[in-house]
Amino acid sequence: MITAVTRRRTGSFLPEITTNSNKWRRGSQYRTKQKESLQTRSVSDKSAQNLSQQEIAQFRNSLKHNICVQMLQEGYHRSFSELFLVLQYDQDRRAAAEPGSALSLQTPLEEQRDKLETIRLHLSRAEQAERIGSWSVLCEQRLLLARFFSAPEDLWLSLHFYHGCADREQGGRSRPATEARACMAELYLQQGELQEAMHQAELCVRQAEDGSWLDSSGRPLRLRGRQTLWGIYNQLADAPLDAANYEEALKLLHKAHKIATESEDKQIEGEAAYRLGVAYQHTGDHNTATKFFSTSMQIYGTLQEADGLVKAYKAMAKSMESQGNIDETARCLEKLVDITRSNRLQRNLADACQCLGNIYYTVGQQRRAYECFLQGYEVASDIEDEVLLKEAQALLANARAHSLIRKHSADMETVSPAALQRLLTWKGTRGCQELCPDSTGPAAPAWH
Protein backbone atom coordinates (compact mmCIF):
# COMPACT_ATOMS: atom_id res chain seq x y z
CA MET A 1 0.00 0.00 0.00
CA ILE A 2 2.86 2.36 0.84
CA THR A 3 4.44 1.34 -2.31
CA ALA A 4 1.36 2.11 -4.32
CA VAL A 5 0.92 5.46 -2.65
CA THR A 6 4.54 6.23 -3.18
CA ARG A 7 4.28 5.38 -6.82
CA ARG A 8 1.27 7.57 -7.22
CA ARG A 9 2.92 10.47 -5.48
CA THR A 10 6.07 10.00 -7.44
CA GLY A 11 4.20 9.90 -10.74
CA SER A 12 2.32 13.07 -9.93
CA PHE A 13 5.26 14.87 -8.43
CA LEU A 14 7.84 14.40 -11.27
CA PRO A 15 7.06 15.48 -14.85
CA GLU A 16 6.90 12.81 -17.41
CA ILE A 17 9.92 12.54 -19.72
CA THR A 18 8.78 12.71 -23.33
CA THR A 19 10.61 11.70 -26.49
CA ASN A 20 9.70 15.01 -28.28
CA SER A 21 13.02 16.85 -28.88
CA ASN A 22 11.79 19.88 -30.93
CA LYS A 23 11.98 22.19 -28.01
CA TRP A 24 15.49 21.07 -27.22
CA ARG A 25 16.52 21.53 -30.83
CA ARG A 26 15.13 25.04 -30.96
CA GLY A 27 17.12 25.99 -27.92
CA SER A 28 20.25 24.39 -29.29
CA GLN A 29 19.90 26.21 -32.60
CA TYR A 30 19.43 29.52 -30.80
CA ARG A 31 22.56 28.95 -28.76
CA THR A 32 24.51 28.00 -31.90
CA LYS A 33 23.37 31.10 -33.79
CA GLN A 34 24.21 33.27 -30.81
CA LYS A 35 27.66 31.72 -30.67
CA GLU A 36 28.20 32.23 -34.42
CA SER A 37 26.98 35.81 -34.11
CA LEU A 38 29.45 36.45 -31.32
CA GLN A 39 32.25 34.90 -33.38
CA THR A 40 31.30 36.99 -36.46
CA ARG A 41 31.14 40.10 -34.35
CA SER A 42 34.56 39.29 -32.92
CA VAL A 43 36.04 38.88 -36.44
CA SER A 44 34.29 42.07 -37.61
CA ASP A 45 35.62 43.99 -34.64
CA LYS A 46 39.10 42.66 -35.35
CA SER A 47 38.83 43.67 -39.06
CA ALA A 48 37.56 47.08 -38.09
CA GLN A 49 40.50 47.40 -35.76
CA ASN A 50 42.96 46.45 -38.56
CA LEU A 51 41.32 48.87 -41.06
CA SER A 52 41.52 51.58 -38.50
CA GLN A 53 45.23 50.93 -38.10
CA GLN A 54 45.71 51.23 -41.87
CA GLU A 55 43.76 54.44 -41.94
CA ILE A 56 45.81 55.79 -39.07
CA ALA A 57 48.99 54.89 -40.96
CA GLN A 58 47.74 56.79 -44.02
CA PHE A 59 47.38 59.93 -41.95
CA ARG A 60 50.45 59.40 -39.81
CA ASN A 61 52.96 58.72 -42.60
CA SER A 62 53.94 61.06 -45.43
CA LEU A 63 52.59 60.74 -48.97
CA LYS A 64 56.02 59.66 -50.15
CA HIS A 65 56.19 56.96 -47.47
CA ASN A 66 52.75 55.57 -48.28
CA ILE A 67 53.42 55.45 -52.05
CA CYS A 68 56.76 53.71 -51.56
CA VAL A 69 55.33 51.20 -49.08
CA GLN A 70 52.50 50.39 -51.48
CA MET A 71 54.95 49.71 -54.32
CA LEU A 72 57.02 47.43 -52.09
CA GLN A 73 53.97 45.58 -50.79
CA GLU A 74 52.84 44.95 -54.36
CA GLY A 75 56.30 43.63 -55.24
CA TYR A 76 57.45 46.39 -57.62
CA HIS A 77 60.94 46.82 -56.23
CA ARG A 78 62.54 48.27 -59.38
CA SER A 79 59.77 50.83 -59.67
CA PHE A 80 60.29 51.75 -56.02
CA SER A 81 64.03 52.24 -56.59
CA GLU A 82 63.47 54.49 -59.61
CA LEU A 83 60.83 56.57 -57.83
CA PHE A 84 63.12 56.94 -54.84
CA LEU A 85 65.98 58.14 -57.07
CA VAL A 86 63.69 60.63 -58.85
CA LEU A 87 62.53 62.05 -55.54
CA GLN A 88 66.11 62.30 -54.31
CA TYR A 89 67.16 64.14 -57.47
CA ASP A 90 64.27 66.58 -57.07
CA GLN A 91 65.34 67.23 -53.50
CA ASP A 92 68.97 67.81 -54.53
CA ARG A 93 68.14 70.20 -57.37
CA ARG A 94 65.86 72.22 -55.13
CA ALA A 95 68.53 72.38 -52.43
CA ALA A 96 71.05 73.68 -54.99
CA ALA A 97 68.68 76.38 -56.27
CA GLU A 98 69.17 79.98 -55.17
CA PRO A 99 66.79 81.17 -52.46
CA GLY A 100 63.80 82.95 -53.96
CA SER A 101 64.28 81.44 -57.42
CA ALA A 102 61.39 79.87 -59.31
CA LEU A 103 62.76 76.41 -58.65
CA SER A 104 63.06 76.94 -54.91
CA LEU A 105 59.45 78.17 -54.76
CA GLN A 106 57.99 75.14 -56.55
CA THR A 107 56.06 72.54 -54.59
CA PRO A 108 58.32 69.51 -53.93
CA LEU A 109 57.50 66.49 -56.04
CA GLU A 110 57.03 64.33 -52.96
CA GLU A 111 54.08 66.51 -51.93
CA GLN A 112 52.20 66.30 -55.27
CA ARG A 113 49.80 63.37 -55.01
CA ASP A 114 48.64 63.26 -58.67
CA LYS A 115 52.18 63.11 -59.99
CA LEU A 116 53.33 60.46 -57.52
CA GLU A 117 50.27 58.30 -58.17
CA THR A 118 50.82 58.60 -61.93
CA ILE A 119 54.49 57.64 -61.61
CA ARG A 120 53.59 54.66 -59.39
CA LEU A 121 50.90 53.45 -61.77
CA HIS A 122 52.91 53.55 -65.01
CA LEU A 123 56.20 52.38 -63.52
CA SER A 124 54.42 49.40 -61.96
CA ARG A 125 52.77 48.54 -65.28
CA ALA A 126 56.12 48.91 -67.06
CA GLU A 127 57.80 46.60 -64.56
CA GLN A 128 55.02 44.06 -64.93
CA ALA A 129 55.48 44.16 -68.73
CA GLU A 130 59.23 43.73 -68.29
CA ARG A 131 58.72 40.55 -66.27
CA ILE A 132 56.93 38.87 -69.15
CA GLY A 133 59.23 40.30 -71.83
CA SER A 134 56.62 42.62 -73.38
CA TRP A 135 59.10 45.33 -74.34
CA SER A 136 56.76 47.38 -76.51
CA VAL A 137 54.22 47.63 -73.68
CA LEU A 138 57.02 48.60 -71.29
CA CYS A 139 58.10 51.45 -73.59
CA GLU A 140 54.49 52.51 -74.14
CA GLN A 141 53.96 52.93 -70.39
CA ARG A 142 57.11 55.03 -70.08
CA LEU A 143 56.08 57.11 -73.09
CA LEU A 144 52.68 57.80 -71.52
CA LEU A 145 54.41 58.77 -68.29
CA ALA A 146 56.80 61.15 -70.07
CA ARG A 147 53.96 62.82 -71.98
CA PHE A 148 52.05 63.33 -68.74
CA PHE A 149 54.69 65.80 -67.55
CA SER A 150 54.05 68.54 -70.10
CA ALA A 151 54.36 71.60 -67.83
CA PRO A 152 57.59 73.66 -68.24
CA GLU A 153 58.64 73.03 -64.64
CA ASP A 154 58.36 69.27 -65.25
CA LEU A 155 60.65 69.20 -68.30
CA TRP A 156 63.34 67.31 -66.37
CA LEU A 157 60.84 64.58 -65.47
CA SER A 158 59.62 64.35 -69.05
CA LEU A 159 63.16 63.93 -70.40
CA HIS A 160 63.98 61.37 -67.69
CA PHE A 161 61.11 59.10 -68.70
CA TYR A 162 61.65 59.69 -72.44
CA HIS A 163 65.24 58.53 -72.04
CA GLY A 164 64.04 55.59 -69.94
CA CYS A 165 61.80 54.66 -72.87
CA ALA A 166 64.23 55.16 -75.78
CA ASP A 167 67.64 54.26 -74.31
CA ARG A 168 66.84 50.60 -73.68
CA GLU A 169 68.55 47.55 -75.06
CA GLN A 170 65.23 45.72 -75.29
CA GLY A 171 62.47 47.77 -76.86
CA GLY A 172 64.69 50.70 -77.79
CA ARG A 173 63.79 50.35 -81.47
CA SER A 174 60.04 49.91 -80.96
CA ARG A 175 57.40 52.36 -82.11
CA PRO A 176 56.94 53.99 -78.64
CA ALA A 177 60.73 54.35 -78.26
CA THR A 178 60.97 55.98 -81.70
CA GLU A 179 58.22 58.43 -80.79
CA ALA A 180 60.09 59.18 -77.56
CA ARG A 181 63.13 60.17 -79.65
CA ALA A 182 60.97 62.48 -81.78
CA CYS A 183 59.63 64.13 -78.61
CA MET A 184 63.11 64.50 -77.13
CA ALA A 185 64.43 66.06 -80.36
CA GLU A 186 61.69 68.70 -80.21
CA LEU A 187 62.29 69.42 -76.52
CA TYR A 188 66.05 69.78 -76.97
CA LEU A 189 65.43 72.04 -79.99
CA GLN A 190 63.21 74.28 -77.87
CA GLN A 191 65.97 74.48 -75.24
CA GLY A 192 68.58 75.39 -77.86
CA GLU A 193 70.56 72.16 -77.33
CA LEU A 194 70.94 71.66 -81.07
CA GLN A 195 73.51 68.85 -81.11
CA GLU A 196 71.51 66.63 -78.76
CA ALA A 197 68.35 67.50 -80.70
CA MET A 198 70.06 66.48 -83.95
CA HIS A 199 71.23 63.19 -82.43
CA GLN A 200 67.71 62.25 -81.32
CA ALA A 201 66.06 63.39 -84.57
CA GLU A 202 68.49 61.42 -86.73
CA LEU A 203 67.90 58.27 -84.64
CA CYS A 204 64.16 58.81 -84.96
CA VAL A 205 64.35 59.09 -88.76
CA ARG A 206 66.65 56.04 -88.98
CA GLN A 207 64.41 53.85 -86.81
CA ALA A 208 61.21 54.95 -88.54
CA GLU A 209 62.60 54.84 -92.10
CA ASP A 210 61.48 51.31 -92.94
CA GLY A 211 58.20 51.39 -91.04
CA SER A 212 54.86 53.08 -91.37
CA TRP A 213 54.72 54.02 -87.71
CA LEU A 214 52.47 56.87 -86.63
CA ASP A 215 52.87 58.91 -83.48
CA SER A 216 50.15 59.32 -80.86
CA SER A 217 48.48 62.10 -82.88
CA GLY A 218 48.50 60.15 -86.15
CA ARG A 219 51.50 61.82 -87.81
CA PRO A 220 54.09 59.60 -89.55
CA LEU A 221 57.13 59.41 -87.29
CA ARG A 222 59.47 59.44 -90.28
CA LEU A 223 58.13 62.81 -91.46
CA ARG A 224 57.97 64.22 -87.94
CA GLY A 225 61.66 63.47 -87.44
CA ARG A 226 62.53 65.16 -90.75
CA GLN A 227 60.52 68.24 -89.85
CA THR A 228 62.45 68.55 -86.61
CA LEU A 229 65.76 68.02 -88.42
CA TRP A 230 64.87 70.88 -90.78
CA GLY A 231 64.27 73.16 -87.79
CA ILE A 232 67.62 72.15 -86.30
CA TYR A 233 69.63 72.89 -89.45
CA ASN A 234 67.68 76.10 -89.90
CA GLN A 235 68.72 77.30 -86.44
CA LEU A 236 72.30 76.10 -86.89
CA ALA A 237 72.57 78.41 -89.92
CA ASP A 238 71.64 81.52 -87.91
CA ALA A 239 75.03 81.95 -86.24
CA PRO A 240 77.15 81.82 -89.44
CA LEU A 241 74.67 84.12 -91.19
CA ASP A 242 75.01 86.69 -88.41
CA ALA A 243 78.79 86.37 -88.62
CA ALA A 244 78.71 86.77 -92.44
CA ASN A 245 80.16 83.27 -92.80
CA TYR A 246 78.01 82.63 -95.85
CA GLU A 247 79.82 79.52 -97.02
CA GLU A 248 78.98 77.64 -93.80
CA ALA A 249 75.49 79.11 -93.70
CA LEU A 250 74.73 78.01 -97.27
CA LYS A 251 76.03 74.52 -96.53
CA LEU A 252 73.63 74.16 -93.60
CA LEU A 253 70.71 75.76 -95.43
CA HIS A 254 71.13 73.43 -98.40
CA LYS A 255 70.93 70.48 -95.99
CA ALA A 256 67.83 72.02 -94.45
CA HIS A 257 66.30 72.50 -97.91
CA LYS A 258 66.97 68.87 -98.87
CA ILE A 259 65.39 67.62 -95.66
CA ALA A 260 62.42 69.95 -96.16
CA THR A 261 61.73 68.56 -99.64
CA GLU A 262 61.79 65.02 -98.19
CA SER A 263 59.47 65.92 -95.34
CA GLU A 264 56.38 66.21 -97.57
CA ASP A 265 55.53 69.42 -95.71
CA LYS A 266 55.05 72.21 -98.25
CA GLN A 267 54.99 74.88 -95.56
CA ILE A 268 58.55 74.24 -94.42
CA GLU A 269 59.65 73.58 -98.01
CA GLY A 270 58.55 77.09 -98.94
CA GLU A 271 60.32 78.51 -95.89
CA ALA A 272 63.50 76.58 -96.70
CA ALA A 273 63.56 77.98 -100.25
CA TYR A 274 62.98 81.50 -98.92
CA ARG A 275 65.83 81.17 -96.39
CA LEU A 276 68.23 80.00 -99.11
CA GLY A 277 67.22 82.93 -101.29
CA VAL A 278 67.94 85.38 -98.47
CA ALA A 279 71.37 83.81 -97.88
CA TYR A 280 72.30 84.11 -101.56
CA GLN A 281 70.97 87.66 -101.52
CA HIS A 282 73.46 88.48 -98.75
CA THR A 283 76.31 87.09 -100.85
CA GLY A 284 75.30 89.30 -103.80
CA ASP A 285 74.27 86.35 -105.97
CA HIS A 286 70.87 87.75 -106.92
CA ASN A 287 70.35 85.42 -109.88
CA THR A 288 70.39 82.37 -107.63
CA ALA A 289 68.44 84.23 -104.97
CA THR A 290 65.60 85.02 -107.36
CA LYS A 291 65.34 81.32 -108.36
CA PHE A 292 64.77 80.29 -104.75
CA PHE A 293 62.40 83.21 -104.17
CA SER A 294 60.42 82.14 -107.22
CA THR A 295 60.15 78.59 -105.84
CA SER A 296 59.04 79.93 -102.49
CA MET A 297 56.42 82.16 -104.12
CA GLN A 298 55.00 79.23 -106.09
CA ILE A 299 54.71 77.06 -102.97
CA TYR A 300 53.16 79.79 -100.86
CA GLY A 301 50.79 80.65 -103.69
CA THR A 302 49.62 77.02 -103.86
CA LEU A 303 49.11 77.01 -100.10
CA GLN A 304 47.45 80.45 -100.25
CA GLU A 305 49.80 81.47 -97.46
CA ALA A 306 49.56 85.27 -97.46
CA ASP A 307 52.33 85.95 -94.94
CA GLY A 308 54.76 83.76 -96.86
CA LEU A 309 53.86 85.43 -100.15
CA VAL A 310 54.39 88.89 -98.65
CA LYS A 311 57.95 88.23 -97.53
CA ALA A 312 58.83 86.30 -100.70
CA TYR A 313 57.60 89.09 -103.02
CA LYS A 314 59.33 91.74 -100.95
CA ALA A 315 62.62 89.82 -101.06
CA MET A 316 62.24 89.24 -104.80
CA ALA A 317 61.68 92.96 -105.37
CA LYS A 318 64.86 93.73 -103.43
CA SER A 319 66.94 91.40 -105.61
CA MET A 320 65.36 92.79 -108.79
CA GLU A 321 66.20 96.31 -107.70
CA SER A 322 69.78 95.30 -106.89
CA GLN A 323 70.08 93.94 -110.45
CA GLY A 324 68.82 97.26 -111.82
CA ASN A 325 65.62 95.74 -113.14
CA ILE A 326 63.29 98.53 -112.04
CA ASP A 327 60.30 97.46 -114.16
CA GLU A 328 60.29 93.97 -112.62
CA THR A 329 60.77 95.52 -109.20
CA ALA A 330 57.70 97.70 -109.69
CA ARG A 331 55.66 94.72 -110.90
CA CYS A 332 56.65 92.70 -107.82
CA LEU A 333 55.70 95.52 -105.50
CA GLU A 334 52.39 96.13 -107.29
CA LYS A 335 51.59 92.44 -106.82
CA LEU A 336 52.61 92.77 -103.18
CA VAL A 337 50.20 95.70 -102.73
CA ASP A 338 47.39 93.60 -104.22
CA ILE A 339 48.13 90.64 -101.95
CA THR A 340 48.28 92.70 -98.78
CA ARG A 341 45.13 94.64 -99.66
CA SER A 342 43.07 91.55 -100.51
CA ASN A 343 44.20 89.78 -97.32
CA ARG A 344 43.69 92.88 -95.15
CA LEU A 345 47.32 92.88 -93.99
CA GLN A 346 47.22 96.58 -93.25
CA ARG A 347 50.68 97.07 -91.83
CA ASN A 348 52.23 95.16 -94.72
CA LEU A 349 50.07 97.17 -97.12
CA ALA A 350 51.41 100.47 -95.76
CA ASP A 351 54.97 99.17 -96.07
CA ALA A 352 54.37 97.91 -99.63
CA CYS A 353 52.90 101.27 -100.68
CA GLN A 354 55.96 103.07 -99.35
CA CYS A 355 58.34 100.70 -101.16
CA LEU A 356 56.45 101.09 -104.42
CA GLY A 357 56.35 104.86 -103.97
CA ASN A 358 60.13 104.93 -103.57
CA ILE A 359 60.57 102.98 -106.82
CA TYR A 360 58.35 105.37 -108.76
CA TYR A 361 60.07 108.34 -107.17
CA THR A 362 63.48 106.96 -108.21
CA VAL A 363 62.46 106.77 -111.88
CA GLY A 364 60.91 110.24 -111.81
CA GLN A 365 57.24 109.21 -111.84
CA GLN A 366 56.26 111.82 -109.28
CA ARG A 367 52.52 111.48 -109.66
CA ARG A 368 52.49 107.70 -109.09
CA ALA A 369 54.98 108.04 -106.25
CA TYR A 370 52.74 110.60 -104.60
CA GLU A 371 49.67 108.36 -104.95
CA CYS A 372 51.50 105.43 -103.35
CA PHE A 373 52.78 107.54 -100.46
CA LEU A 374 49.28 108.91 -99.91
CA GLN A 375 47.85 105.38 -99.75
CA GLY A 376 50.52 104.43 -97.26
CA TYR A 377 49.72 107.46 -95.14
CA GLU A 378 45.99 106.69 -95.10
CA VAL A 379 46.56 103.06 -94.08
CA ALA A 380 49.01 104.10 -91.35
CA SER A 381 46.41 106.55 -90.06
CA ASP A 382 43.76 103.83 -89.96
CA ILE A 383 45.86 101.37 -87.97
CA GLU A 384 47.09 104.10 -85.61
CA ASP A 385 50.74 103.03 -85.80
CA GLU A 386 52.63 106.11 -84.63
CA VAL A 387 56.06 105.08 -85.95
CA LEU A 388 54.69 104.04 -89.34
CA LEU A 389 52.55 107.19 -89.51
CA LYS A 390 55.53 109.48 -88.95
CA GLU A 391 57.47 107.69 -91.68
CA ALA A 392 54.50 107.95 -94.07
CA GLN A 393 54.12 111.67 -93.31
CA ALA A 394 57.78 112.32 -94.07
CA LEU A 395 57.62 110.46 -97.39
CA LEU A 396 54.40 112.17 -98.42
CA ALA A 397 55.71 115.63 -97.50
CA ASN A 398 58.93 115.01 -99.41
CA ALA A 399 57.02 113.84 -102.49
CA ARG A 400 54.79 116.91 -102.34
CA ALA A 401 57.69 119.31 -101.94
CA HIS A 402 59.61 117.85 -104.87
CA SER A 403 56.54 117.81 -107.09
CA LEU A 404 55.91 121.51 -106.38
CA ILE A 405 59.53 122.40 -106.95
CA ARG A 406 59.51 120.53 -110.26
CA LYS A 407 56.28 122.29 -111.30
CA HIS A 408 57.47 125.83 -110.53
CA SER A 409 61.22 125.41 -111.04
CA ALA A 410 61.07 127.04 -114.49
CA ASP A 411 59.32 130.15 -113.14
CA MET A 412 61.86 130.35 -110.30
CA GLU A 413 64.71 130.37 -112.82
CA THR A 414 63.02 133.06 -115.01
CA VAL A 415 63.12 136.74 -114.09
CA SER A 416 60.21 137.77 -116.31
CA PRO A 417 57.26 139.66 -114.77
CA ALA A 418 54.87 136.91 -115.95
CA ALA A 419 56.84 134.21 -114.13
CA LEU A 420 56.99 136.30 -110.97
CA GLN A 421 53.24 136.89 -111.14
CA ARG A 422 52.58 133.15 -111.43
CA LEU A 423 54.73 132.47 -108.35
CA LEU A 424 52.90 135.14 -106.37
CA THR A 425 49.54 133.78 -107.44
CA TRP A 426 50.56 130.24 -106.43
CA LYS A 427 51.84 131.48 -103.08
CA GLY A 428 48.51 133.06 -102.30
CA THR A 429 46.39 130.04 -103.26
CA ARG A 430 48.59 127.00 -102.53
CA GLY A 431 46.68 126.04 -99.37
CA CYS A 432 43.57 125.33 -101.47
CA GLN A 433 45.29 123.65 -104.39
CA GLU A 434 45.31 119.97 -105.10
CA LEU A 435 48.67 118.52 -104.45
CA CYS A 436 49.37 116.23 -107.36
CA PRO A 437 51.94 117.47 -109.89
CA ASP A 438 49.34 117.69 -112.63
CA SER A 439 46.60 118.96 -110.30
CA THR A 440 44.46 115.87 -110.93
CA GLY A 441 45.31 113.80 -107.89
CA PRO A 442 43.52 113.63 -104.55
CA ALA A 443 43.83 116.38 -101.99
CA ALA A 444 46.39 115.83 -99.27
CA PRO A 445 45.68 116.19 -95.59
CA ALA A 446 46.39 119.51 -93.94
CA TRP A 447 49.88 119.86 -92.55
CA HIS A 448 50.58 121.71 -89.39
* 293 and 363 share one domain: no
Quote the mean pLDDT of the chain: 83
CA angle 22, 27, 33 (to 5 degrees): 125
* 349 and 400 share one domain: yes
* 298 and 337 share one domain: no
Report yes or no on 126 lying in a domain.
Answer: no
Report yes or no on 132 lying in a domain.
Answer: no
Question: Tell me: the pLDDT tens digits for 280-315?
Answer: 999 999 999 999 999 999 999 999 999 999 999 999
Q: Quickly list H helices, 304-385.
A: 306-322, 326-342, 346-362, 366-383
Rounded alpha-carbon distances, angstroms, from residue 70 to 64, 65, 77, 351: 10, 9, 10, 66
pLDDT at 24 over 70: no
Q: How far separated are the first and last CA of the chain, in Å rounded?
A: 159
Report yes or no on 84 lying in a domain.
Answer: no
Report yes or no on 347 lying in a domain.
Answer: yes
* 294 and 367 share one domain: no
Between CA 166 and CA 176 the distance in angstroms is: 8
Question: Tell me: the pLDDT tens digits for 367-417?
Answer: 888 888 888 888 888 887 778 778 877 877 777 766 666 655 565 667 677
Report yes or no on 148 lying in a domain.
Answer: no
Element (H, E) at 6: helix 2-13
Between CA 288 and CA 267 the distance in angstroms is: 21
Residues listed for the chain: 448
pLDDT at 5 over 50: no
* 341 and 391 share one domain: yes
> Global pTM?
0.74
Report yes or no on 70 lying in a domain.
Answer: no
In terms of pLDDT, which residue wins out, 85 or 433? 85
Number of domains in the chain: 2
Q: Which domain holds residue 351?
A: 325-412
The predicted structure's pLDDT at residue 413? 62
CATH number of residue 289's parent domain: 1.25.40.10
The predicted structure's pLDDT at residue 114? 96
305 three-class SS: coil
In terms of pLDDT, which residue wins out, 213 or 420? 213
Between CA 314 and CA 226 the distance in angstroms is: 29
* 254 and 291 share one domain: yes
The alpha carbons of the chain give a radius of gyration, in whole angstroms, of 43
Report yes or no on 62 lying in a domain.
Answer: no
* 295 and 346 share one domain: no
Between CA 260 and CA 230 the distance in angstroms is: 6
Element (H, E) at 162: helix 155-166
Q: How confident is the model at residue 325 (pLDDT cuts 50, 70, 90)?
A: very high
